[in-house]
Homo-oligomer: A and B are copies of this chain.
Amino acid sequence: MKTGSYRVKAGQKVKLEDWKTDDDGGLEEDDAKVLLDELEDQLFDLQERLYAERQQSLLIVLQARDAGGKDGVVKKVVGQFNPNGLKITNFKQPTEDELAHDFLWRIHAHTPGKGMIGVFNRSHYEDVLVTRVYSMIDNKTAKTRLKHIRAFEELLTDNGTRVVKFYLHISPEEQKERLQARLDEPEKNWKFNPGDLKDREHWEAFTEAYQDALSTSTDEAPWYVVPADHKWYRDLVISQVLVSILNDMNPQFPDIDFKPSEIRIK
């Protein structure tokens, strides 16, 4: 499976309407399950090496519109990793203390240490998305923030943290169906937030803000626009990208400073 076509190239200007939300790679869900099982084993093994090596880390950024599938990716894809090597952060509305600092202050505090896989369920990109759509910041501030984001992610990559950013791309029709399901199924009611309907009315403004955010894609910290109408295909694409990045990072079991054969356990 080729995932390169979902990657935003450095310098590329993205028009989201040209990116498919319902791509399925010509696969059936059952085929995908088989592929996914294999990828899961690879992810697990690669993570163990990363954890044992303690030289590099991986930061996975998840962004999406409401009901776009961030929680689903955490459950299905991230859930395959050994939780001991995982650090998951859900960024909510900033607190008073967080607002008293620059917007990257709270983000920086949650980046993964060496050997760890960090997952941001929402991230510093909210500060150039929702804030922008609701005019809490002006365009000039957004531009400055995007510059700071680039520098910040470069700081991380220079220190051995690979950054990969996924935008889960769904259609307005698919979002409607998912929100409706949250209303129709009592056990999903708690997931429904009436505020999501307000965001939905600003669909186009969010599209524009996302397009600018996607411009921070670089070779070292790429964005992927993941077709996310089919949940199983979304999980497959993300798993494939993660396997390929972790393979490229090529973590190794560390050298040991003792000779196993010379040690006697009493």
Contact = CB atoms under 8 A, between A and B. Distances in A.
Interface of A: 52, 71, 74-75, 78-79, 81-84, 86, 88, 90, 119, 121, 176, 179-180, 183-184, 186-187, 189-192, 194, 197, 200-201, 253-254, 256, 258, 260-261, 263, 265-266
A88 to B, nearest CB: 5
Given A184-B260, A197-B265, A190 B83 contact: no
A84 B121 contact: yes
B260 A189 contact: yes
A263 B71 CA distance: 23
A190 B254 contact: yes
Contacts of A84: 71, 74-75, 88, 90, 121
Contact of A190 (B52, B180, B190): B52
A253 B189 contact: yes
Contacts of A82: 74-75, 79
Contacts of A180: 265
Contacts of A261: 183
B253 A190 contact: yes
- Most interface-central of A74, A200, A260 (chain B CB within 10 A): A260
Contact of A265 (B79, B83, B200): B200
Contacts of A71: 84
Contact of A83 (B83, B176, B258): B83
A88 B194 CA distance: 32
A76 to B, nearest CB: 10
